């Protein structure tokens, strides 16, 4: 930094001191920082510090073709990239008034739900690790890896798939994919008991997570909390059901809620959501073979595709919460403006700063992970 920062100054006669959680800290999710002012172990105030992951996505996208942008959108949120591709495609389809073939829609939902499973498995481990239990993160990441294998088979990429394009998905599912998916779901269900015993009903964990980082419903609405974090306060709202996109209104699933609004409630909501996703995937496995037809609508030459003028705001339910893109086209080969409303842009900044006040240093990392914030969504 600047030399003047090292020029000694008299410190105020106060007992407050500062701690830096992140960017190089195990208690932070990704490259992000949370600066704390503490007195003893009580947090006086917390200040989020973002920008470590800033790449100027929105600027980058203005400089690339509509189709090229598909390659960079999943990079905005790494643990859960599929919704990014889908929602970007949705806005383009909305501007172009394209109709995605039904089979394409089913496959998209399949990916979305599989991605949700992978993301939640990742989160459990992270949350448990902040409380000192590392075994769930070992298990969770390994089990997530099996989902990534499925993705690899389906799309060719483990983490970044670039499988959705405006108009549908790039290609149909491989032979026998649904069987392997079904096996994976069976496996996940056999693991349910292990996870419950190890994590969700572990007395020590429950003691750590209960009544920590409580948001009530009013605060949640005021601060714009979305997704599982909102459902953990008792409001059964889910974009998939209440603002349905793709074929979600044809699927039968529940919206798990908890009322406590604390860290435990949030992780339990995610746990239930994971098994709701399993339920959705089972329906897809059952229905998908009967949905015939192409997987994508024809699009013009992608290298010379001038999307017609218009604007569209589309949102989906990602594993972190409400994810939305605002896309503006001026009829040119490149987007005029793409605004990414990351699901975590509220959680990781204002909600966290508000929740941290008065909490204890023990719980800060846990609160952060229980909100399941994804810093690159803030930075973009």
Partner 1 sequence: MSKIGNIPVNAQAGKKRTNPLAGVFDELVQFCQSRSMFMLHYCTGCGAIELPPAMTSRFDMERLGIQPMVTPRQADILLVTGYVSVKTLKRVILTYEQMQSPKYVIGICSCTVNGGMYWQSYATAKVLNEYLPVDVYIAGCMPRPEAVIEGMRRLMRNIEEGKGHAWKDYFQRYDYYLGNQQHLFGDDWQTPTDIIGEARHYGLETEQTYGEHTRILEQHQQPLEPHKMRIKF
Partner 2 sequence: MSVLDDLLLFTALASVAIIVVRRFASVSKLSVIVYALATVLLVKMSALGYGGEPIYSSFTLNVLGQNLYWRFDSLSWFFALITVVIALFTSVFMSGAWAEKYCQEHSTEAYGLLQAALVLNVLSMLVLLASGDLLSLFIGWELVSWASFMMMFLNQDKVARKAAIKYIVYAMAAAMSILMAIAMTYSMTGSLDYVQIMQAVAHLSNTQIALLVTLYGVGFGIKMGVIPFHLWQAAAYAETPGPGAVFMGAISARMGLYALIVIVVQIFSLTRVAAIEIPYTFLNMQNILAWVGALTTIIPTYIALKQNDARYLLAWHGVGQGGYMLLGVMIADSIGTAGGIMHVFNYATYQAALFMAVTAVMFRTGTSNFSKLGGLVTQMPLTFMVMVVSIIGLAGIPPMNGFVSKWLVYRALLLDGEPLLFVAAVIGTLGTILSVYKLVHNTFLGQLRLEHQDVKEAPLSMLLPMLGLVLIIFGTGVMPGVVLDWVAAAQNAVGIAPITHNLGGIELAQGGLDMIWVTGVMFYGFAVGAIVFYFLGGKSKHIHQFDNYAGGHFLTSKVRYHYSNHFYAGLMHLIGGWYKDFFKKLEQALVSLVSFLSQLSENFYRSAQPAVLVAAVAFIALWFIMSSFSMPADTGTVAPITQGIQGGLPK
Partner 3 sequence: MSTITELLTELFLMPLIAFMVGLAMVLMLRKIGARLQRRVGPPLLQPIFDIVKLYGKDTQVSHGLIHDIGLVMAVGGYVAAEIFLPVPGMDGIADKGGIITLSYVMMVPSLGLALGVGQCANPNGSIGISRALTAMLAYDIPFIIVVFGVAAHYQSTSLVGMIEYQQAHQWGIFEMPLLAAAGLFALQGMMGKQPFEIYVAPAEIATGPMVEMSGKYMGGLFVMQTFQLYTAGVLYTSLFLGGGSNWFEFLLKIFVVVAIPMSVAFVFPRYRTEDMVRIMWKWPVMAALIGIAFVL
What are the two backbone dihedrals, phi and then psi, of residue 206, each rounded to the nearest 5 degrees? -60, -40
Q: What token pair was written down for 278?
A: 């399993």
Q: Least distance in Å: CB of 129 to partner 3?
A: 6
Considering the complex, what minimum distance in angstroms separates the CB of residue 15 from partner 2? Answer: 3
Query: Quick check: 287 binds partner 2 (CB under 8 A)?
Result: no
Is residue 313 at the binding interface for partner 3, with CB under 8 A as the rule? no
122 or 200, CB closer to partner 1? 122
By the rule CB under 8 A, 24 interacts with partner 1: yes
Which of 380, 326, 371 shows the shortest CA–CA distance to 353?
Answer: 371
> Would you call 233 helix, strand, or coil by DSSP?
coil
Least gap, CB of 30 to partner 1 (angstroms)? 5
Contact between 23 and partner 1 per CB under 8 A: yes
Q: Which of residues 64-123 bind partner 1 (CB under 8 A)?
A: 71-72, 75, 78-79, 122
* Angle separating helix axes 263-287 and 102-130, nearest 10 degrees: 150
Burial category of 317 from C-beta neighbours within 10 Å (exposed 0-12, middle 13-18, buried 19 and up): buried
Task: Please identify, using beta-carbon distances, which residue of 322 and 379 lies nearer to partner 1.
Answer: 379
Q: Where is 2: in which H helix or E strand? A: none
CA distance to 5, 198, 207, 366, per residue, from 361 (Å)? 27, 24, 16, 10
- 119 cis-preceded (ω within 30 degrees of 0): no
Q: Is the Cβ of residue 4 or residue 252 nearer to partner 2 in the bound state?
A: 4
111 Cβ partners below 8 Å, 6+ apart?
82, 86, 151, 154, 155, 161, 163, 164, 169
Q: Is 187 in the site for partner 3 (CB under 8 A)?
A: no
Residue 38 in 3-state DSSP? strand
Which of 12, 176, 293, 298: binder of partner 2 (CB under 8 A)?
12
The structure tokens listed for 369 are 């992970």
Q: Does 241 bind partner 1 (CB under 8 A)?
A: no
Per-residue interface string for the shown chain with partner 2, residues 18-57, x marking contact by CB under 8 A: xxxxxxxx--x----x-x---xxxx---------------
- Which strand (E) or helix (H) includes residue 81? none
Least CB distance to partner 2 at residue 36 (A): 10
> Which sign, positive or negative, has the C-alpha torsion 184, 152, 161, 303?
negative
Of the candidate spans 11-19, 105-113, 227-235, 309-317, the one that interacts with partner 2 by CB under 8 A turns out to be 11-19
Min. distance of Cβ 21 from partner 3 in angstroms?
9
- Number of residues binding to partner 3, judged by CB under 8 A: 30
Binding residue for partner 1, selected from 142, 206, 309, 357, defined by CB under 8 A:
142
Residue 122 Cβ vs partner 2, minimum distance, rounded to whole Å: 22
The residue ranges that bind partner 3 (CB under 8 A) are 17-19, 25-27, 41, 128-135, 138-139, 142, 198, 202, 204-205, 207-208, 360-362, 364-366
């Amino acid at each position: 930094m600047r030399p003047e920062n090292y020029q000694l100054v008299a410190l105020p006669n106060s007992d407050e001191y500062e701690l830096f959680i992140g960017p190089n800290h195990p208690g932070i999710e990704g490259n992000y920082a949370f600066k704390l002012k503490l007195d003893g172990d009580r947090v006086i105030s917390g200040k989020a510090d973002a920008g470590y992951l800033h790449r100027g996505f929105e600027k980058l996208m203005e400089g690339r073709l509509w189709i090229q942008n598909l390659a960079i959108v999943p990079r905005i949120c790494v643990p859960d990239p599929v919704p990014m591709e889908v929602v970007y495609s949705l806005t383009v389809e909305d501007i172009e008034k394209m109709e995605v073939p039904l089979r394409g829609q089913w496959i998209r939902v399949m990916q979305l739900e599989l991605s949700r499973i992978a993301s939640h498995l990742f989160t459990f481990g992270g949350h448990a690790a902040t409380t000192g239990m590392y075994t769930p993160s070992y298990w969770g990441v390994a089990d997530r890896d099996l989902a990534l294998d499925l993705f690899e088979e389906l799309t060719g990429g483990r983490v970044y798939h670039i499988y959705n394009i405006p108009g549908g998905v790039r290609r149909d599912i491989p032979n026998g994919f649904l069987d392997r998916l079904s096996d994976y779901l069976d496996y996940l269900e056999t693991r349910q008991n292990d996870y419950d015993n190890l994590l969700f009903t572990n007395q020590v964990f429950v003691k750590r997570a209960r009544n920590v980082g409580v948001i009530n419903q009013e605060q949640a609405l005021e601060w714009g909390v979305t997704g599982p974090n909102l459902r953990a306060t008792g409001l059964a709202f889910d974009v998939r059901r209440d603002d349905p996109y793709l074929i979600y209104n044809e699927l039968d699933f529940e919206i798990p809620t908890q009322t406590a609004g604390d860290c435990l409630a949030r992780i339990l909501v995610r746990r239930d959501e994971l098994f709701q996703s399993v339920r959705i995937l089972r329906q897809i496995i059952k229905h998908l073979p009967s949905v015939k037809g192409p997987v994508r609508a024809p699009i013009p030459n992608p290298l010379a595709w001038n999307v017609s003028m218009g604007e569209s705001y589309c949102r989906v339910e990602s594993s972190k919460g409400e994810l939305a893109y605002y896309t503006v086209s001026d009829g040119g080969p490149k987007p005029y403006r793409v605004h990414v409303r990351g699901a975590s842009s509220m959680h990781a900044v204002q909600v966290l700063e508000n929740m941290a006040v008065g909490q204890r240093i023990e719980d800060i990392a846990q609160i952060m992970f229980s909100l399941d914030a994804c810093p690159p969504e803030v930075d973009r």
